[in-house]
Amino acid sequence: MLLQELHGGIYPCHEEHPAHFDRAEPIPGPTTDRLSKAAAEFNVVIVGSLFERRAVGLYHNSAVVLERDGSIAGRYRKMHIPDDPGYYEKFYFTPGDEGFVPIQTSLGCLGVLVCWDQWFPEAARLMALGGAEILLYPTAIGFAADESTAEQSRQLEAWQTIQRSHAIANALPLAACNRIGTEADTAFWGNSFICGPQGEILAQAGTNEQVLIATIDRRRSEDVRRMWPFLRDRRIDAYAGLTRRYLD
């Protein structure tokens, strides 16, 4: 079960206000306790998202994975932190310092990333190289109140396209769970989806609350990689420039 980004309450980053730090909690803590009970009760793996309090004055936007027995299988701290109107996350969150490390569960190896991470192909690739068998993105993204219908359409299509591209480039299934509803001046656009390793849509939500279910055949990733051997043909000897900010 994949939940949306910071699902425990309103998205706090629409403004910069110290009071929102009161929502932060440790891992383990109240939210992981509730998710742990649910995971054990329903015999499911749960990926949740919360405002993590690591220490006094040190906070992360984190995803946590609960195993079927309720134990904590692992945690991912969001690496890419945005700072844009309506998404003032740099005020609250320190970038993750644990890297792009997949989390092993009874369902397989999960490549968990968070929202803004979904625009960066490097993040998805490193999860794939680490052995991830599915990419998961808890998300909170939407339209600003003053954006035109045409611009909204372009943004939504770009959001889905980039994630389907990660699925294709790494031959991995992918699920993205986005918020819905309007908070402050942001209309979260929903449209959560699940796609297969060739980017094929397996399930698609709209703008209302709903549960998406899809059957994923992990064997297909190996079959696709045999046909499209992107990992085999990567020119790792020629990619040194990727470690530089800009080639000037």
Catalytic one of 5, 67, 89, 133: 5
Q: Which residues of 30-58 are buried (b: 16+ CB within 10 A; e: fewer)?
A: ebbeebbeebbeeeebbbbbbbbbeeeee
Q: What whole-number distance in Å separates Cα of residue 100 and Cα of residue 79?
A: 8
Which residue is listed with tokens 């297909």?
Answer: 220
- Residue 230's CB is within 10 A of a number of other CB atoms, namely 14
115 is annotated as an active-site residue: yes
Tokens linked to 248: 């000037």
Catalytic one of 52, 67, 78, 89: 78
Q: What whole-number distance in Å separates Cα of residue 166 and Cα of residue 79?
A: 17
Decide the pairing of beta strands 201-204 and 58-66.
unpaired
109 is annotated as an active-site residue: no
Residue 100 and residue 120 in contact, taking contact as beta carbons nearer than 8 Å? no
Q: What whole-number distance in Å separates Cα of residue 84 and Cα of residue 178?
A: 18
Catalytic one of 13, 52, 67, 115: 115
As annotated, the active-site residues are: 5, 78, 115
